[in-house]
Chain A
């Protein structure tokens, strides 16, 4: 039996099948789906009076005056059930007396898994507080997220505008301080991460002169356990007001929907009045060869299927990708040892991984397990790398890389031209 069609399970009903086989069964007529009205050979509409209506549950004949538009009896009702996304119950908080404020990382404008854990923890803490308590999420800059309601956000403070573009800790802290004064939240939660919110937590703690718990991983409204330095000790304290949570400190929200009411009255007068001392000069172009393989975002990896190494290097240069290699390429002395990806090399976490002429041995696939998108370029459509890949291109690596380089050069030329036009 196959369950491929999702929720829509087709079940056999032996009783109905039996009735359909037995022409003498009183319900047989009503189950066989011969239409009661047919167009006869002369073109006239013919009614079959015996087929109009059906035998009702009490044995009497019933006529369906909805003319077949009503629910059809006898068909497998369960099979006809339409697939509907079960809506989670909505939790709405009209008047909140207390607040738990969670500041989000929002990497790429979306909630990270860590953010969702933090919101889950916020909801847990809110439930422990005896008064009516709402979870407020604070997000900065451009936002692409559309599932705040499913992540457990009751109120949303969205700080956008020029002041909150790029790296702006001073403005952000000024805003958080205003929020602190206005809401006097019972708890402040931050993900203890490298993406910015953790830093804001420390800055806010310094500003408010309160001692936070960092790397907290077991939190209730009474007691908190957090990891000390080098992950060597667990320190148990009375829960402070500011908490920087480790990953997976609590489960994300899974069963409820929340209102996501924007707190616009708060965000209006949050316009920053600070003169920042730190000026953001923007992100700088980093030579992809300098980025360590383990943290690289975009990797072009070479295996035994590469014949023209010059071409491979120029491809990685023009794509601005970090170079990786399979063990065979490394053992043959064609690539340096520190580029080896896999079980005995580096475990990479790239967002996009292009495997050129790599067959996909388990030892290699292990190393790329946490990659998001894998692109395979290979002559063999049946190899394991193609099975793993999101996009596979079957053909000679040399030809395809040549085309790829050409395409990129074309794009660059076009850009140059456009740039010149802009200047002119």
Chain B
């Protein structure tokens, strides 16, 4: 834990993917968890929106002392006021989720904040290993469970991936006792999104495999073709040594062993 470090976690209101119930946003909760690991319960958690949102209590239920809320109306551009506040507070590490769970969910917030403050943005963070001498060692999540080591100078913005540690459970009592600290902030209206039309999402059609055959014979072949399964190489009579060698060769070809 690093008591002298100023860590801020940005949180939003999440939504359950099937039921639509409002909840802690998963990635934001993971960002809070990572912040708790770095900074302990003194972590600053910042939400821009309404302070009366009941979901904020769910974040507090993870054992936080307080949440800071920049009071903003529903359709507002929160980046400017938020950056101003972050600058005032002298934040050094800003943690956010990769993507929001409701609304536009473009995942732009970390990049906009980073751009406005002129800080580097590290995406898809799985863990922050250490912060020392003004430099942080970060594990970045790659597809297929792989990880990459990055080194970044403070201050920076990090977007937290689903691969980060799961958030601790939220307890009701501490959630009710936690303090919600309201901060008045300027309001910048988001005019563009006012002109958008929003409808509930329809299921997207699956792409069909269209047969582009030029002759009747081709179409016949496409319609009657057996689904692959032509069978691969079968090594039956070879000695176990040769069989194992064949497997090793294939793994080498695929680059899975060196």
Task: List the A side residues contacting B103 at CB < 8 Å.
Answer: 228-229
Given A298-B256, A381-B234, A390-B232, the answer on whether A286 and B241 have CB atoms closer than 8 Å is no
B103 nearest CB neighbor, chain A only: A229
Stretch at the interface among B68-76, B151-159, B167-175, B179-187: B151-159
How far does the alpha carbon of A64 sit from the alpha carbon of B153 in the complex, in Å?
85
CB distance from A231 to the nearest CB of B (A): 6
Choose among B15, B144, B156, B217 the residue with the greatest number of A CB atoms under 10 Å from its CB: B144
Say yes or no: A228 contacts B201, CB within 8 Å: yes
CB distance from A407 to the nearest CB of B (A): 5
Say yes or no: A278 contacts B235, CB within 8 Å: no
Interface status of B231 (Cβ within 8 A of chain A): yes
Given A283-B146, A391-B246, A408-B257, the answer on whether A229 and B111 have CB atoms closer than 8 Å is no
CB distance from A348 to the nearest CB of B (A): 11
Interface status of A411 (Cβ within 8 A of chain B): yes
CB distance from B48 to the nearest CB of A (A): 16
Say yes or no: A281 contacts B106, CB within 8 Å: no
Say yes or no: B102 contacts A232, CB within 8 Å: yes
Interface status of A375 (Cβ within 8 A of chain B): yes
Stretch at the interface among B35-43, B87-95, B119-127: B119-127
Q: Which of A3, A212, A228, A284 contacts B147 (CB 8 A)?
A: A284
Say yes or no: B112 contacts A206, CB within 8 Å: yes
Interface status of B188 (Cβ within 8 A of chain A): no
How far does the alpha carbon of A400 sit from the alpha carbon of B246 in the complex, in Å?
11
Task: List the A side residues contacting B17 at CB < 8 Å.
Answer: 230-232
Q: Which of A213, A281, A388, A400 contacts B148 (CB 8 A)?
A: A281
How far does the alpha carbon of A9 sit from the alpha carbon of B216 in the complex, in Å?
12
Interface status of B132 (Cβ within 8 A of chain A): no
Given A227-B201, A232-B200, A408-B257, the answer on whether A284 and B244 have CB atoms closer than 8 Å is no
Say yes or no: A167 contacts B148, CB within 8 Å: yes
Q: Which of B104, B115, B243 contacts A228 (CB 8 A)?
A: B104
Type the 1/0 row for B123-154, where 1 means its CB is closer than 8 Å to any CB of A: 11000000000000101101111111111110
Task: List the A side residues contacting B234 at CB < 8 Å.
Answer: 381, 386, 392, 394
Interface status of B248 (Cβ within 8 A of chain A): yes
Task: List the B side residues contacting A377 at CB < 8 Å.
Answer: 247
Interface status of A111 (Cβ within 8 A of chain B): no
Type the 1/0 row for A384-424, where 1 means its CB is closer than 8 Å to any CB of B: 00111111111110011011101110010001000000000
Say yes or no: B257 contacts A319, CB within 8 Å: yes
Provide 20 A-B residue pairs closer than 8 Å at the C-beta atoms, listed in order of the A residue: A3-B220, A3-B221, A167-B140, A170-B120, A202-B106, A203-B121, A206-B112, A230-B15, A232-B102, A232-B201, A233-B201, A236-B196, A248-B204, A279-B150, A280-B149, A281-B151, A298-B256, A351-B256, A391-B246, A399-B240
Q: Which residues of A contact B (CB under 8 A)?
A: 3, 9, 166-167, 169-170, 194-195, 199, 202-203, 205-207, 209, 211-215, 217, 227-238, 244, 248, 251, 254, 277-284, 286, 290-292, 295-298, 319-321, 351-352, 354, 373-375, 377, 381, 386-396, 399-400, 402-404, 406-408, 411, 415
Q: Which residues of B contact A (CB under 8 A)?
A: 15-17, 20, 99-108, 111-112, 114-115, 120-124, 137, 139-140, 142-153, 156, 192, 195-202, 204, 207, 212, 217, 220-221, 229, 231-236, 240-241, 243-248, 250-251, 254, 256-258
5 further contact pairs, Cβ within 8 A, besides A229-B105, A296-B144, A381-B236: A212-B106, A231-B201, A320-B257, A388-B229, A415-B258
